[in-house]
Amino acid sequence: MLVIVGHLELAPFLAGGQSRVIAFFALSGFLITAVLLKRYEAHGSISFSDFYLARLARFVPALLVVSVLGLVCATAAANEWWAAASVGSSELAAGLPRLWSQTLNFSLMNGATDLPYEFVPGWSLGIEWQFYLVWPVVVLGVLWAFGLRALCWLALAVAITGFSWSFWLALSVGIEEPRVMYGTDTRGAAILLGCAAAMFALRPAASAWLTRNASRIALIVGITLAVMFTQLFFDSGPHMTSWGQVVVASAVSLLAASLWVHPDAVSFLVLPWLAWLGQRSLGLFLFHVPVMQLFGGPGDAIRTLSVLAMTLALTAACYRWFEQPLARATKRWQKRRAAMSSRTGGRAAAVGPAA
């Protein structure tokens, strides 16, 4: 919601978009690690094929829709059918391979200026996918060899190293340099901190402490993020490449851990309409920019309402008619494969039994 408000230029007092991306990274690291650990606890292993198929079922429908939206926008702008704001079709077509290969952040960190704005929100998904490719393998290997404690310390150590590297690089070349703002090595620390928080929340002593203090943590984190997400004292957007990202990632990770063990600590988060938005958040995140460009960019109240209405409609349709059927089909295939493996006594494809 904060990302959409920022792109539509509805709240100039909000800080730069980097602050919202850091929160997204921390949450993703927490949730993905929690999923992997639950599967490992239940089955003693992690099925890589099941994990990656689930990720693809989640992302492919949304990427298809955003690709079509971008092409429609570019075609409309080229033919002057209406006042669409877009680059040419050739530039958009050149950006499609980078969108689908999840390498947009590499282009941006190297100073690319020819990327279609319709696809730019996908740079953070590129870092997410790079995380997906590596982290399940690390989780399985370290859990088998050394256990959960070692995995937690590894994630925390890499996160601290990443924050330190990002801070040093920001001081050396500038806090707003693309190399710092979009690099996997400078942004990934927030993800790893979320991973460490998920493992921290599983420890009995930590879980008890989080449960006792969940409401206090939510209050402190809420105040912290209210400051960091706005320009009350400073524009914290650029500082998200140095010290700011440590504060935001730590606050969000701690809040996620608290809510994991005590979900009712923040009562409004269980409201049905928020759950509805959360389940469809990927589509909302990817679709709102190309839809905004279809309408000619940010504008008055009528244009803003039109963008929001069309984004919600497209997101709801994509979720119902594409994402959910594909997710159900993937789960049916996984169950059949697990049943066949159980009958034959064999091991599932990839590593370990299906999870």
CA 194, CA 308: separation in Å to the nearest integer?
Answer: 30
pLDDT, position 94:
81
Count Cβ atoms within 10 A of the Cβ of residue 323 and give its class: 0-12 exposed, 13-18 middle, 19 or more buried: buried
Q: What total of structural domains would you count in the chain?
A: 1
pLDDT, position 354:
36
Residue 80 lies in a domain: yes
Contact 260, 44 (CB under 8 A): no
pLDDT, position 355:
36
3-state secondary structure of 320: helix
CB atoms within 10 A of CB 101: 11
pLDDT, position 68:
93
Which helix (H) or strand (E) covers residue 273, if one does? helix 272-279
- Beta-bridge mates of residue 230: 14
Residue 350 lies in a domain: no
Contact 85, 293 (CB under 8 A): yes
Contact 76, 86 (CB under 8 A): yes
Regions in the chain scoring below 50 on pLDDT: 347-355
Count Cβ atoms within 10 A of the Cβ of residue 89 and give its class: 0-12 exposed, 13-18 middle, 19 or more buried: middle
CB atoms within 10 A of CB 278: 11
For residue 51, give the nearest of 127, 126, 140 by alpha carbon: 140
The distance of Cα 189 from the centroid of its chain, to the nearest Å, equals 13
Average pLDDT along the chain? 89
- Stated pTM of the model: 0.91
Question: Cα 263–203–199 angle (5° rounding)?
Answer: 80
CA 331, CA 15: separation in Å to the nearest integer?
Answer: 40
Contact 120, 289 (CB under 8 A): yes
Q: Which long-range contacts (CB under 8 A, 24 or more apart) does 148-157 make?
A: 148/37, 148/199, 148/202, 151/199, 152/196, 152/199, 152/200, 155/33, 155/192, 155/193, 155/195, 155/196, 155/199, 156/192, 156/193, 156/196
Contact 66, 287 (CB under 8 A): yes
Residue 347 lies in a domain: no
**DSSP 8-state secondary structure symbol assigned to residue 101:** T
Please report how many Cα atoms fall inside a 13 Å half-sphere around the Cα of residue 9, on the Cβ side.
Answer: 7
The phi-psi region of residue 234 (left if phi > 0; otherwise alpha if psi is between -120 and 50; otherwise beta) is beta
Residue 354 lies in a domain: no
- Beta-bridge mates of residue 31: none
CA 22, CA 17: separation in Å to the nearest integer?
Answer: 9
pLDDT, position 97:
94
Residue 325 lies in a domain: yes
Residue 344 lies in a domain: no
3-state secondary structure of 176: coil
CA 293, CA 91: separation in Å to the nearest integer?
Answer: 15
Which helix (H) or strand (E) covers residue 10, if one does? none
Residue 351 lies in a domain: no
CA 127, CA 123: separation in Å to the nearest integer?
Answer: 7
For residue 178, report the phi and psi dihedrals to the nearest 5 degrees. -55, -35
CA 74, CA 41: separation in Å to the nearest integer?
Answer: 48
Residue 353 lies in a domain: no
Start-to-end C-alpha separation, the chain: 32
pLDDT, position 100:
96
**Domain containing residue 298:** 2-337
